[in-house]
Structure 1
Amino acid sequence: MSATSHSARGLALGPDGAREVARTLPEEMPVAITVNGSTQAVMMATPADLEEFATGFALTEGIARPDQIERIEVIDLEQGIEARLWVADEIAEALGARRRAMLGPVGCGLCGIDSLEQALRALPPVGEGARFEMAEIAAATDLLRDHQPLHDRTHAVHAAGFLQPGQGVVMAREDVGRHNALDKLIGALLRAGHDPASGAILLTSRVSVEMVQKTVLAGCATLVAVSAPTAHALRLAEGAGLTLAAFARRGAVEIYANPTRIRRRDTDVA
């Protein structure tokens, strides 16, 4: 497997003059997701946790559930990496309408979708989900910082984490792309036998449409982010019954949708 980071030297310029600096940079490379030999997507991603990435991507993009995947192979090639999924032939044949053939920039999880209907697909309602104390949610993204070793080395990657009531952050994954990190986390949870409905997903990014879509399709009922949601992401969360918390940092949080899963002692809004 390829390295996840790379050392580089640069020249820092400032009021006091110039000095040489050494930095650790995150690695990114094209990762192709193939199903029965047919490419479904090519994403720029951090070359780690790729079996989990493929599993989570397959679920959240409507390709296949984990129990429908017969095997996964991760193959290093000269041009990049292939994560090869093998499923029953009838599943592979049904993928034509959802096929992507693109190079996805790390900031966009929807690039390459070939219809507006696919981009804004209807979401199923989430289940009851887990319940949390407000203090747990407000502290969650700060706790996530202890699970970001690649960020500590590079200061240039996103993370997605999983918070369980009374247990803190029990799992996290990192990637240069925020949606890639989320797919990796979802795949890791499913492969480890953790039910996404038993906790909340944490993000070190804004909440865009695809982050809400992936969270809901994974079966998780609460999404917590360090930054803001987009207006349409909020509308999707409201419609699906997803609890959406934003600006969670330094012991404070703002709840924008379906707040009933978060208990708080005071019931008055200042």
Structure 2
Amino acid sequence: MTPARLAAKPVPELVLRAGAVRSGERMVPDEVPIAFSYGGTTHAVMMATPADLEDFAVGFSLTEGIIADPAEIVGIEVVDEGRGIDVQVTLADPVADALRARRRHMAGPVGCGLCGIESIDQALRPVRSVRGGGLRLRSREVAEAVRALGDAQSINRVTHAVHGAGFCVPGKGLVAIREDVGRHNALDKLCGAVVKAGYRGEDGVVAVTSRLSVEMVQKAASLGSSFLLAVSAPTLLAIETAEKAGMTLVAVVRGEDFEIFTHADRILSPGAVADVA
């Protein structure tokens, strides 16, 4: 078994404070190329924090539409190749066949070879509807979810340089958290952790420390959560996508102050819908 790399490491630095210079040390997150290989063929490579890579593989496979259920993954092997890490995923035969067919379809001539109609369609793919389920949140639960995420970020506590994604279940609190230098990676890792732990996306709330782009909405919808909370602001396309999917998008969360952009009826607050006891 390949030994795991450290998610963060100390590095020397020079610190300038009040006009004086001193030697110091800072913890910084590691960032390495992570490749996902299916059936011996590399499918994607991204820069990421080398932690929770099995969760990353499951979540990435799910949010990218490669699998519909974690049971479709037969095995995962993490291989450290020195300059980077290869996460080798073995799929059940029918799913592996479907992925090979998908690759053949995408391999045709499409202009530059990296973009084209297929790539645009994939980027703007319809998202799963999350209108089902009766989950509602009190306004204070929104603040508690984001606060709990910040408090639980162990890597960010020492580096101040990574994003976090958390899953909160009303009555249980924060049940999963994952961190990464990439906001998309953190959310993929979280999705993997949540489904591996046996939780249903519709039973909880996804909270992130980043801005809300359309990819974040797509990934949260793949998990099945009808809530996406963030400390930063959303993009226009994220709002439009969340509206169509039936997702409640809450952003710019600052303590108990926040802004609701879609499906505000799920937030129970004295200023909107009557709070419940």
Counterpart CA distance in 2 for 1:216 and 1:98 is 24
Counterpart CA distance in 1 for 2:82 and 2:36 is 16
Q: State which of 5, 12, 15 in structure 1 corresponds to 2:15.
A: 12
Q: CA RMSD in A?
A: 2.0
* Shift in alpha-carbon separation, 1:57–1:137, aligned structure 2, 3 A: same
Q: State which of 66, 71, 76 in structure 2 corresponds to 1:67.
A: 71
What is the SS of the residue equivalent to 2:15?
Answer: strand
Q: Deviations over 1:171-212 (max 9, x none)?
A: 111011011010111100111111111011000000001000
What is the SS of the residue equivalent to 1:94?
Answer: helix
What is the SS of the residue equivalent to 1:205?
Answer: coil
Asked if residue 51 in structure 1 is aligned to residue 51 in structure 2, the reply is: no
Counterpart CA distance in 2 for 1:191 and 1:142 is 24
Counterpart CA distance in 1 for 2:20 and 2:271 is 53
User: In the TM superposition, what are the counterparts of 1:1-270 in structure 2 within 5 Å?
Assistant: 1-64=4-67, 65-96=69-100, 97=102, 115-129=119-133, 130-267=135-272
The alpha-carbon deviation at position 12 of structure 1 amounts to: 2.1
Counterpart CA distance in 2 for 1:98 and 1:183 is 21
Q: Give the paired residue count.
A: 259
CA contact (8 A) 2:128 2:224 kept: no
Partner of 2:111: none
- Normalised to the residue count of structure 1, the TM-score between the two structures is 0.90
The alpha-carbon deviation at position 98 of structure 1 amounts to: 5.8
Counterpart CA distance in 2 for 1:162 and 1:21 is 36
In structure 2, what residue type is equivalent to 1:211? M
Counterpart CA distance in 1 for 2:144 and 2:197 is 25
CA contact (8 A) 1:127 1:219 kept: no
Counterpart CA distance in 2 for 1:98 and 1:187 is 23
Structure 2: runs of 5+ lacking an equivalent: 108-113
Counterpart CA distance in 2 for 1:112 and 1:183 is 23
Structure 1: runs of 5+ lacking an equivalent: 102-110
The alpha-carbon deviation at position 115 of structure 1 amounts to: 1.2
Q: Deviations over 1:87-136 (max 9, x none)?
A: 133322322546999xxxxxxxxx98961001100112114242211110
The alpha-carbon deviation at position 78 of structure 1 amounts to: 1.9
What is the SS of the residue equivalent to 1:210?
Answer: helix
Identical aligned pairs, as a percentage?
47
Which shifted more, 240-249 or 133-142?
Answer: 133-142
What is the SS of the residue equivalent to 1:95?
Answer: helix
Counterpart CA distance in 2 for 1:93 and 1:128 is 31
CA contact (8 A) 1:131 1:165 kept: no
* Shift in alpha-carbon separation, 1:181–1:266, aligned structure 2, 3 A: same
What is the SS of the residue equivalent to 2:37?
Answer: strand
CA contact (8 A) 2:179 2:186 kept: yes
CA contact (8 A) 1:140 1:248 kept: no
